[in-house]
Structure 1
Amino acid sequence: MKRILFISIFLILQSFSTAHAMHIMEGFLPLHWAVFYFALCIPIIILGVRKITKLIKADNEVKLMLALCGAYIFLLSALKLPSITGSSSHPTGVGLSAILFGPLVSSVLSMIVLFFQAVFLAHGGITTLGANTFSMGIVGPFAAYFTFKLLKQKNLKMAVFVSAMIGDLLTYVTTALQLSIAFPGKAGGILESFIKFSAIFAITQIPLAIIEGLVTVIIYDYIQRYFSNGIELGGEKI
């Protein structure tokens, strides 16, 4: 466990020296779109905070697992590959917390991670925090959660793998759509921009999503073996 923590801290520190804009960078979205995505996120975040409060009241030791899930999101989303102007590709890490605690908790953890990365690492931004939270903290976790619920009875490890991968991919499909709506093509409008953005994202994001799925299976298996007491899997006790 100490070795895992040491490696995690090392990789996080390394991310300080390789800063690229994470998701949609500061000031890249028009103001009305930035406000719109904040408005979409607020109800989900409120529900997420309420669920976290209930979890902690029921079992104070769950704080450790919540912190681990938050660190996992921070660590994976700090490993970036430059993609297109105003954005970048990286794993998201939201699938693990969505599987363990449900998508509402993941939304809160994602917003916290995105805020600290925007302030301390210049990844993303404050004005685009709503848009980035919507894609990585809402769409990604909800997609991962429902995928897991659908597949877990057939093959648990495969369900974890596919859930993490789908959560990652749909985060970037959403980001591509957000950029396309804000900056439609001159000839083909939103569809033209979406095809362009999603095609460029796919070059780096598909391999990253597969890797994230594999890593999440390893972490999930470790948690299941050593920290399973009282942990929820998608809202259900182990």
Structure 2
Amino acid sequence: MHIAEGYLPPLHSLAWGLAAAPFVVHGARAVVRQVREDPDSRLLLGAAGAFSFVLSALKLPSVTGSCSHPTGTGLGAVLFRPPVMALLGTIVLFFQAVLLAHGGLTTLGANVFSMAIVGPWVAYGAYRLTRAAGGGLELGVFFAASLGDLATYCVTSVQLALAFPDAATGVLGAAAKFGSIFAITQIPLAIAEGLLTVLMIRLLVRVSPAELTRLGVLPAPAATTAPSTRTGA
């Protein structure tokens, strides 16, 4: 999801930036609303952004000289829903481009669209479907993190294929080739990211149960009624 600086044609970079912009603006409004309605959630917002920054900054060698990365966006999508992650992911990708030379400013829109928009929405959808099917919190978080990661790389494969279609098989053939290259390392990496995110949610359940309850991740404790003091006549 870190397409390098200058790697995409200018028109592609512009198109992906325009496609991502409405989601980022909506995400900024969602973050402002979240902080206004629940100021105590600022620490968890920071933790979700930091988790994504650290995981997606890892560079793990892949084949043909490329690299694979976790994304870390599944956690924030579960905690705060995808619009919030659109802004947090944009901030993460911007600072990685400026400070770590991961990605680039001309390709920021494309990277945001794959990692900060599509990835979180797929993650949140997987989480909700798992919970609706009777799965527990940890299973839902695992599928959210894993499938959100894979969805990011599927979109990146399409982005690269649109920019560099195969001479014989066109865009579809190029997308299949890019996807197969990523899959060698990304499938096991997505599973590892899912397990790591489960460990993170376990920690949050232990140290911040009240915050998770306010966010709707944990159910509210059942109300208890005091025993009656009335005695029969």
TM-score > 0.5, shorter chain as reference: yes
| Alignment correspondent of 1:161 | 142
- Distance in 1, Cα, partners of 2:69 & 2:99: 18
Matching residue within 151, 166, 169 for 1:188 = 169
- Distance in 2, Cα, partners of 1:87 & 1:119: 20
- Distance in 2, Cα, partners of 1:232 & 1:35: 40
Q: In the superposition, relative to structure 1, how do residues 109 and 226 fare at CA in structure 2: closer, same or farther (>3 Å)?
A: same
- Distance in 1, Cα, partners of 2:183 & 2:217: 36
| Alignment correspondent of 1:236 | 216
| Alignment correspondent of 1:106 | 85
SS where residue 39 of structure 2 aligns? coil
The residue type paired with residue 162 of structure 2 is I
Matching residue within 200, 209, 221 for 2:181 = 200
In angstroms, what is the RMSD of aligned CA positions?
1.7
CA contact (8 A) 2:78 2:217 kept: no
The residue type paired with residue 120 of structure 2 is P
Partner deviation per Cα, 1:85-139 (whole Å, 9 max, x = no partner): 7953111000000000000111111110000000011000000000000000001
Gaps in structure 1 of 5+ consecutive residues: 1-21
- The alignment status of 1:73 with 2:52, answered yes or no, reads yes
Matching residue within 122, 146, 152 for 1:171 = 152
Partner deviation per Cα, 1:176-232 (whole Å, 9 max, x = no partner): 110001100001101111111101100110010000000001101111222122337
- The alignment status of 1:210 with 2:191, answered yes or no, reads yes
The residue type paired with residue 38 of structure 1 is G
Of structures 1 and 2, the larger Rg is shown by: 2
CA contact (8 A) 2:123 2:145 kept: yes
Matches within 5 A, 1:1-238: 23-83=2-62, 88-153=67-132, 154-156=134-136, 157-231=138-212, 236=216, 238=218
Q: In the superposition, relative to structure 1, how do residues 170 and 232 fare at CA in structure 2: closer, same or farther (>3 Å)?
A: farther
- Report the number of matched residues: 216
- Distance in 1, Cα, partners of 2:2 & 2:59: 10
TM-superposed CA distance for 1:84, in Å, is 5.9
- Distance in 2, Cα, partners of 1:103 & 1:193: 29
The residue type paired with residue 202 of structure 1 is A
- Distance in 1, Cα, partners of 2:208 & 2:82: 20
